[in-house]
Every structure is written in structure tokens, then in C-alpha cells.
Chain A
Amino acid sequence: MTQREAGLRVIGKEQPSDPTEPASNASSDAKDGRIHLNMPMRYAIAVTCALALLCIPLAALGRNPLYAYWEILSTSVGSKASIGETLNRWTPLLLGGSAVAIGMRAGLVNLGVDGQIYLGGIAATFVALHVGSMPAFLAVAATLLAGLGGGALYGLIPGLLRAFRGVNELFVTVMLNFVGLYLVTYLTSTVWNDPLSGAAVSKIIPSRATLPPILLGEAHIGVLIAISLTVGAHLWISRTKRGFELRAVGSNASAARYGGVPVNLVVVASLVAGGAFAGLAGAIEVSGVYQRLHPQITVNYGLMAVLIAFVAKQNLLAVIPVSLVTAMLLIGTQSLQLSAKLPANAVLMFQGVIVLAVLSQQRSRQQKPRQALRGSGATRR
């Protein structure tokens, strides 16, 4: 593997088939003399440390930290309404986390979930405003598919640039986030503006294009779509030939190319698939939660999605519980904003501390010499 070609791998990923290391080494002393705990144990320790550390700002706010944690738990799953709200928050986080994880399996960092959510929201709003007298079932399907397509198209841009121009996808996706934000601001303040609102908010979409509710109207059906899609993507990656090719590109791009994998195609496909997942999340937010488009349809879901994918170690099945916990944290800290005057951004800080603790628990294995941030050459023949 030449140094240039190694550039595709950006994230130092655990290789599951490492012959020098037993798969589960619970509490066994390994060769280097350190005690290695198994993964759930290490995660538990990391989260406990993070929670202990976070007692300091909570205490500084004059709150009993233990009571604050109890409040997070009780307001996120304590009543039927709060469970519904948690499920609604879970949906975009789950889809976004899966979007990032799919990219990471191919060795790509997709930091553009926010932008893809915006584009999915734009496409979904466009279709929803034009459904006319379509039957409700078709209208909802068309709205969601439009979101899927919008996000996929937005994922195509970094995919093509990566595959054919060797541009690092991380920076392109970050820049596209801002472009998406301003596109939404433009559309909602001019073309689709709701004159009654006096802000950058679009008109309300017709009720036939809104997602059907579940749980007696407390949540919408999106969460079921998200879970089934995530499980489907997991099966696709772990059980099919294309999924194997995706993983091959992620673990060693030049070896994959030598083995006949169309690396360029896989790179584009994984970013388009991630974009489609995130775009669907945008459509679900528009059609299920807000019934309209505005710049706040994503509140840093993209950043949280990256953290979720880190913690889940790019495993799509692990994304499901991790994003659920994130959604609980999000809803729980919302109530703390009201009762403890905790700022809204505190949830990002919480997540940052927890993820840093978890990352420090993931054993830092020796990284091979590779050009960490060079896009060029990696996917060119």
C-alpha cells in the first residue's frame, strides 16, 4: 500500500479480524500487561466518569446533580407524552447516525448530515406543497421519497468530488451544510414564506402530506421507518456482496481495488446512501413534526450523528441504542433548560465529554503511516 493510496482511510477503525487478539478479552491480561475490559464495561466506566465530571457545572448552577440526572431520565421516558417526544427526536438522530456510520464503513467522514437534512426538507416541502388532491397514502410516500432523493443528490456532490477529483469529503460536506442552511433561509423567507409568521418559516404543508401518528398521536410513524431502514442497511452491509465491497474499501482501498472492487462507485454510493438517510430525516421532520420548513428543522443533528457513529463504532445495530440514549439526553436537558436554567448548548457539551471519555477508552492502537487527510490519489486509477 503506497502512502498516497492509503488516504482513503480516515478514521482509525478497529479491525474485527485481527488474529493477534482474541475477540472478547474480558478482564484478561493481554500481552502488554494492561488489563483489558470488554467493550460494554469500558463504555459504562467512560459514561460514569463523564457523568461524574458533569456534576461540576450542574453544581455550579446550584442544582443537585443527582436530582438533575433523575430529571433527565424522568422527563425523557416518564410519561406517554415524553416518550412520544423522545421517539420523535430519536428518528432524525437514528437516521443521521446511520448515515454517518455507512460513510465510515467505507472510510469516509460525512459531516454534512445537517445540510442533507436541509435539502431533504426542501425537496419534501416542494412536493408536499404540490400534492394537490392526491390520496393521503401517496402524498406521504411522495413527500418522503422526495426527501430521500434531495438528500441523496446532496450526498452525490461530495461523492463525485471525492471519487473523481480526489477532494476530501469532510470539508465539502461541512461547506455544504452552510449552503443548505442559506438555501432554506432563502426559500422560507421568499418563495414559500408564510407572511403571517414574520420569520423565515414556510407555509404549512397540507394535512394529507403529514405522517400518520402512532402511540395515540404522541409520536409519528417515522421512528418505525428509521429503525427498519437502519436494520435493512445493516443487513445490506453485512450480508450482501455490495456491502462486502463497501467494507473492503473502508478497510483497505488499494487492496479492494486490486481485488476488483469498483472503488469510485462504492465511494459515491456510500455518500449517496448516507445523504438519502439524512434527507429522509429532513422529510420526516418537515412532514411529521413541524408540518413546515424552517432553518431550525435540524438542531445540530449532524454533529450529534457523528458522535453517535463514533460511539457506536460504525456498527449500524449499535447506532440504534446509542441514538436512543442521545435522544433521551436531548429531551432531558430540554427540561433542565427550563428548571435549572441550563443553556441549550449544554447538551453538546455533555455529549462531547461523554464521547471524549468513550474515545479515550477505545484502545488507541498503532496507526499505520497513512496520509490522514489527503483526498488525492486514493480513488484514482
Chain B
Amino acid sequence: MTAIANFLGAQIFQTSVLIAAPLLLAALGELVVERAGVINMAIEGVMTLGAAVGFVVIFGFHLTHSLLVLGVIAAGTSTALLGALYAWRIVYRNANQITTGIAVLIFDLGLAGVVYRLSVGPGASLPNIPQLGNVALPRLSAIPFLGPVLFDQNVFVYAVLLSSGPIVFLLFRTPLGLRLRASGENPKAVDSLGWPVLRYRFWAVVIGSTLVGIAGSFVPLCITGGFGDQTINGRGWLALLLVIFARWRPSRIFLGALLFAYVESLQFHLAVTAHSVPPSLLEAAPYVLAILALATVRGAYSAPSALGLPYEREARF
């Protein structure tokens, strides 16, 4: 019985939902970008930058309680600004999305470290910021199993779960979302109807970067408490891969985020209960799972047709 409780208990699913929340938000941000026909290769860097800026603002101004949201806003604003710069290069200047993306990724990683070090100062001590506490919803949290898993979480998890609905609705059920998705499938057709393809793509990248940055800022705020080289640790890449595994469908992104978060949260629970499994090998589990998923899921045919391609009006295809 204890073995089943280890793997399927409410506790581990509570941790999974917590870890899934930033992954889900980042993946939705990437989904918006990719559905518009742009691939944001810098997502890992953007997420790290969001985490660093969020941490620094909260740590630097000693924010607590409801003011913690200022750190999140700062993270979103900074990544939106850099996202605008990146979007201008790749959307309006037709720069190669992959090379530019990787260069921006490395720049963002460096900038995140610089911002962090400049505010915390040199030295070995790694300070922590106040963590978001769990808010148990009255009545709902008393439901067996589902109560603690879904309704005894922190505010951020609720915010992500609530905001993911409108994001998906906007993208899949409104005329604006239709035109945005069409610019990722057939930009020429969108252009021929007079809709501004490049503007859609630009704003998709800006909004996507903002969502990814906000997702990043929640990692130190809710999961790690501090910021370091290992804070984001591939969460951005996992979000990018998640969009691919999910074949650009939001419902599968939800499930995939939960699956990856479950595998990641195994390390916290098994490390305590099962001493035979080395913790560093458990930490590698999500990445191994990602490779296995890449090798088995064949999602390429459902990718947006114009994904990764610049749109040029004068080009003859």
C-alpha cells in the first residue's frame, strides 16, 4: 500500500500540479507564438530572464504578500520588451528564426545572471525570497483527493488555471485567433484578405514572451525560492518540446504538462521514501522522457504549415 501511496498519493499530485503550472503557462506562450508561424527558440533564456527579474525585484525591494505581484509584472514587462526586439528582428527584418533565437537565448541567459549578481552582490550566499503560501479554498478543498490536488494550491496556480481558459478561447474561438492561426498556416492568404500578417506575428511573439517570462518568474516564487544556474534548468526547453509533443493542441498540452511535472515531482517523493534510487538519476528522468517522447510521437505533420518561415510579400513561392 505504501508503494502505491508513493506513486499515486494526493501529495505527489499536489506537487505535480504546482510544478505543472509554470510549464503550462510557458507552453501556452510558446503555442501562441508557434501558431502564428514563428518559433521562439529563446524560450529557455526568456524564462530564465523572467525568473531573474522577478526574483531581483522582489528581493531588492523586500516585497511581501500582495506586493509580490509587482515582481511578476516586472518580469513580464522586461521579457515583453526583449521579445519586441527579437520579434522586430525576425518578423520585420526576416532574420533566421533559429540562429537569432539561439543568440538571443544565450544573451538572455547572460543578462539574467548579470541582473541577479548586480542586485544580490558577489559572494557565495544565495538568498531566498518569501514563498507564495497555499490558499485552501473553503469547501472545495475538502473533496477527497481532488481537494488537496486542485484546491489547496497557491494563488499562482489558480491564476494559471483560470487564465489558460481565456488564452485558449482567444486563440481558437475568436476571429482574431483564427487570423492569428491562419498567419501561421498560410500567411499569403491572410495577407490577400488585407489582414496584417506581420503585425499578428509581432504581437504573438511579444505576448508569448510575456507569458513565458511570467511563467519563469513563478519558478523562484513558488518552487525553488532562490535563483541560480539550475533554477529554470531546461523547463523552457521542456515547454517548447511539450508544444511539439502535443501537436499544437492545448488539451494535449495540459496533459503533457501534468505528465512531465509528475515525473519531475517523483524525485522529491522517491528521494525521501526510496533510498535505493540515486536522486541525481531521478532528476534526469524528465529529460529522458522527453527524448523518448520525441522518438515515439510523430507530430510533425500537424505543425503550422508556415512554422519557422519568414513571410515576405514579394517572395514568389
Binding site for B on A (CB under 8 A): 10-12, 57, 61, 109, 111, 157, 161, 165-168, 170-172, 174-176, 178-179, 182-183, 185-186, 189-190, 300, 303-304, 306-307, 310, 337, 341-353, 355-356, 359-360, 364, 366-367, 369-377
A-B contact pairs, 17 of them (CB 8 A): A12-B99, A157-B291, A171-B294, A175-B287, A175-B291, A190-B278, A306-B102, A342-B114, A343-B122, A345-B109, A351-B107, A352-B104, A352-B107, A352-B109, A356-B100, A366-B315, A376-B300
Query: Residue on B with the closest CB to A344?
Result: B113
Given contacts A303-B106, A352-B103, 8 further A-B pairs with CB under 8 A are A109-B102, A157-B291, A182-B283, A183-B281, A189-B280, A349-B110, A352-B110, A364-B93
Residues of the B chain whose Cβ atoms lie less than 8 Å from the Cβ of A310? 99, 102-103
Query: Residue on A with the closest CB to B34?
Result: A373
Partner of B95, one of A344, A346, A364: A364
* A11 x B99 contact (CB < 8 A): yes
Residues of the B chain whose Cβ atoms lie less than 8 Å from the Cβ of A342? 114
* A303 x B109 contact (CB < 8 A): yes
Provided the pairs A182-B281, A360-B95, A372-B308 are in contact, do residues A111 and B110 lie with their beta carbons within 8 angstroms?
no
Residues of the B chain whose Cβ atoms lie less than 8 Å from the Cβ of A109? 98, 102
Partner of B308, one of A189, A190, A371: A371
* A186 x B278 contact (CB < 8 A): yes
User: What's the nearest-Cβ distance from chain B to residue A360, in Å?
Assistant: 7
* A185 x B294 contact (CB < 8 A): no
Residues of the A chain whose Cβ atoms lie less than 8 Å from the Cβ of B73? none
* A345 x B281 contact (CB < 8 A): no
Residues of the B chain whose Cβ atoms lie less than 8 Å from the Cβ of A57? 114
Chain B residues numbered 265-316 whose CB sits less than 8 Å from any CB in chain A: 278, 280-281, 283-284, 287-288, 290-291, 294-295, 298, 300-301, 303, 307-310, 312, 315
Provided the pairs A178-B287, A355-B103, A359-B99 are in contact, do residues A346 and B308 lie with their beta carbons within 8 angstroms?
no
* A11 x B98 contact (CB < 8 A): yes
Q: Bits for B60-93, please: 1 = Cβ < 8 Å to A, else 0.
A: 0000000000000000000000000000010001
* A186 x B234 contact (CB < 8 A): no
Residues of the A chain whose Cβ atoms lie less than 8 Å from the Cβ of B173? none
* A376 x B298 contact (CB < 8 A): yes
Residues of the A chain whose Cβ atoms lie less than 8 Å from the Cβ of B89? 356, 360
Provided the pairs A167-B295, A178-B234, A370-B309 are in contact, do residues A347 and B110 lie with their beta carbons within 8 angstroms?
yes
Residues of the B chain whose Cβ atoms lie less than 8 Å from the Cβ of A61? 118
B168 proximal to A (CB < 8 A) = no
* A359 x B100 contact (CB < 8 A): yes
Residues of the A chain whose Cβ atoms lie less than 8 Å from the Cβ of B98? 10-11, 109, 170, 372-373
* A172 x B110 contact (CB < 8 A): no
CA distance A174 to B281 in the complex (A): 17
Partner of B96, one of A306, A307, A355, A367: A367
Query: Residue on B with the closest CB to A164?
Result: B295
* A372 x B307 contact (CB < 8 A): yes
Query: Residue on B with the closest CB to A3?
Result: B305
Residues of the A chain whose Cβ atoms lie less than 8 Å from the Cβ of B291? 157, 161, 172, 175-176, 179
CA distance A176 to B97 in the complex (A): 23
* B315 x A373 contact (CB < 8 A): no
Partner of A349, one of B39, B99, B114, B298: B114
Residues of the B chain whose Cβ atoms lie less than 8 Å from the Cβ of A175? 234, 237, 241, 287-288, 290-291, 294
* A359 x B93 contact (CB < 8 A): no
* A345 x B95 contact (CB < 8 A): no
* B114 x A367 contact (CB < 8 A): no
B111 proximal to A (CB < 8 A) = yes
Residues of the B chain whose Cβ atoms lie less than 8 Å from the Cβ of A348? 106-107, 109-110, 113
The 5 A-B residue pairs whose C-beta atoms are closest, nearest first, are A345-B113, A372-B308, A352-B107, A348-B110, A349-B110
B163 proximal to A (CB < 8 A) = no
Query: Residue on B with the closest CB to A304?
Result: B106
CA distance A351 to B105 in the complex (A): 11
* B103 x A374 contact (CB < 8 A): no
Query: Residue on B with the closest CB to A184?
Result: B280
Residues of the B chain whose Cβ atoms lie less than 8 Å from the Cβ of A345? 109-114, 117
* B308 x A373 contact (CB < 8 A): yes
* A343 x B116 contact (CB < 8 A): yes
Q: Bits for B109-130, please: 1 = Cβ < 8 Å to A, else 0.
A: 1111110111001100000000
Provided the pairs A109-B98, A370-B309 are in contact, do residues A346 and B287 lie with their beta carbons within 8 angstroms?
no
* B96 x A11 contact (CB < 8 A): yes
Query: Residue on A with the closest CB to B111?
Result: A349
CA distance A346 to B298 in the complex (A): 39
CA distance A165 to B293 in the complex (A): 12
User: What's the nearest-Cβ distance from chain A to residue B124, in Å?
Assistant: 13
CA distance A44 to B274 in the complex (A): 58
* B237 x A171 contact (CB < 8 A): yes
Partner of B317, one of A166, A369, A377: A369
Residues of the A chain whose Cβ atoms lie less than 8 Å from the Cβ of B315? 366
* A353 x B107 contact (CB < 8 A): yes
* B280 x A161 contact (CB < 8 A): no
* B96 x A351 contact (CB < 8 A): no
Query: Residue on B with the closest CB to A169?
Result: B294
CA distance A300 to B301 in the complex (A): 34
